[in-house]
Structure 1
């Protein structure tokens, strides 16, 4: 069954790089792409438990006469046939409703700040709301297009990291690129040994897939396991050309979504393209 990634196109050099990464994701995963070229700086996304109003910055309306032409040109250069979304419903005359029946969505770290204000360590509040509400993963690309040659899943033993691991396994199977895992066992007297994480995998029915046994080869190439050092220092071991997959959980009031400290540090330090499975992500049936 074909999957679809949703992309809001910004007709700027930064927007070009981000669209190229969505198109590369399509190439790798045999997905289609649904492109929205905004004519207004706001739109609504109706999720099951939340309504997110996305406020774009003015750069998303740059040179509308050439936006579609540029998007088509980029898509065809990557052998992807784009589908363009034209909103049918409007909550207000300048507030279109955008469907949410996609399998993935591409979001830069911020979609409502000028690109000159976007830093590696800043995820805008609207993007946080989308991650927290969406039933699909969010592709958060790096600033420059870069092909990824492996997938690395951050695994901390939580339910969300199990979902992220299943997502990584699925993508590795589809794309054929190798899959690695990254685990930091904690610090400050809270360390857990590797057997603890193996037990978590065992309970989830994933031990053989990750660790392998005499009858089954593991589907994880390497497990980067750290039981010492600072987490942020260990991130240096993450391959520079890997797609990083991680789970996020939301807490706090919905207007101020926060995420776990581990994810915050990853997105602050790691320049890799991220694929984030939020708390409402639903793992597809095999």
Structure 2
């Protein structure tokens, strides 16, 4: 199968793959990717991609031969960092698995119009989401991934994210977003507050706003937030009508405290609160 770094490349404007075969699934790409021209002919009808390591070929015989010998067909590369209900997330270091990172990036470009990193993968970590069928524990499927820079000066916990088209609309993107925040270690003493790399695509923005809003809602519903204050208005017995109830305790919490409690950046907290209709900036006092 092809190694992308050994051949001359075309620009995205010159490339067009009509169909992608990922394992045994056939579907249309959304965008163009810069696969080497001598390995992926222009206007290729079908590009065969290994569902375990993402090596590729336009020759079905070469593809079938590779599938039988793929070194990752039994277990993915990297280290498992999440495992629940058949789903697992594996951390893959781009420095240690350069070819895997390059092939994955080229494949992802078919569905991400803003992705630009293809070959300089050493500074990135890749987190691939897999599912293992309980009836076939010797076989697994890669459903998607997210990547992040090893060192981000902007506190980014995610650079790009993609659930492959056949597996979308199953809440798997939300799962990867949650893993990205957990890996930031925001709930530990050495952790940090973080968020996705910006600007987000239109679809990415909508997905994250929903994710942030749900995250804040769960945090508020749990109650007992450290650092927040409780206020109650004392009512005189004479002013309380018979049969009426005392006003419940009202909890006050700041945007910064919400960020600390959820591991979210202040700007992301504000974006989510606006979408929930819960944020009104205080009016500046008028000058006399």
**Same-fold call, TM > 0.5?**
no
Scaled by the length of structure 1, the TM-score of the pair is: 0.26
Between Structure 1 and Structure 2, which shows a larger proportion of helix residues?
1
Q: Which has the larger radius of gyration?
A: 2
Scaled by the length of structure 2, the TM-score of the pair is: 0.26
Q: Which has the higher contact order (CA 8 A, sep 6+)?
A: 1
